[in-house]
Amino acid sequence: MDLVDQDVVFQLKQGSLDALGLLYDRHQRMVFRTALVITGDPDAAADLVQDVFLRLYRFADHIDPGRPLEPWLYRMTVNLSYTWMKRNRRWLRPLEDLAEWLTGGRQSPHEVVEMQDDWDRVQRAVSNLPFPQRVVIVLYYLNDLSLQDISEILEVPVGTVKSRLHYGRQALRKSLEGLMEGESLPGFDYKGS
Q: Which residues of the shown chain bind other proteins in the complex (CB under 8 A)?
A: 17, 20-21, 24-25, 28-29, 32-33, 36-37, 42, 45-46, 49-50, 53-54, 57, 98, 101-104, 115, 118-119, 121-123, 126, 137-138, 141-142, 144, 169, 172-173, 176, 185, 187-189, 192-193
In the complex, the smallest distance separating the C-beta of residue 49 from other proteins, rounded to whole angstroms, is 6
In the complex, the smallest distance separating the C-beta of residue 34 from other proteins, rounded to whole angstroms, is 9
Inter-residue contact 41 to 81 (CB < 8 Å): no
* Cα–Cα distance measured from residue 103 to residue 34, given in angstroms and rounded to the nearest whole number: 18
Residue with smaller CB distance to other proteins, 66 or 186: 186
* Cα–Cα distance measured from residue 135 to residue 77, given in angstroms and rounded to the nearest whole number: 10
Residue with smaller CB distance to other proteins, 45 or 80: 45
In the complex, the smallest distance separating the C-beta of residue 66 from other proteins, rounded to whole angstroms, is 25
In the complex, the smallest distance separating the C-beta of residue 67 from other proteins, rounded to whole angstroms, is 23
In the complex, the smallest distance separating the C-beta of residue 191 from other proteins, rounded to whole angstroms, is 9
**Torsion of the alpha carbons at 12, 62, 72 and 87, rounded to the nearest 10:** -110
**Torsion of the alpha carbons at 23, 27, 32 and 35, rounded to the nearest 10:** -100
* Cα–Cα distance measured from residue 191 to residue 115, given in angstroms and rounded to the nearest whole number: 26
Residue with smaller CB distance to other proteins, 25 or 155: 25
In the complex, the smallest distance separating the C-beta of residue 161 from other proteins, rounded to whole angstroms, is 15
With a CB cutoff of 8 Å and minimum separation 6, the contacts of 161 are: 136, 147, 150, 151, 154
Centre a 10 Å sphere on the Cβ of residue 142 and count the other Cβ atoms it contains.
15
The CA radius of gyration of the chain, in Å to the nearest whole number, is 18
Inter-residue contact 52 to 24 (CB < 8 Å): no
Residue with smaller CB distance to other proteins, 123 or 151: 123
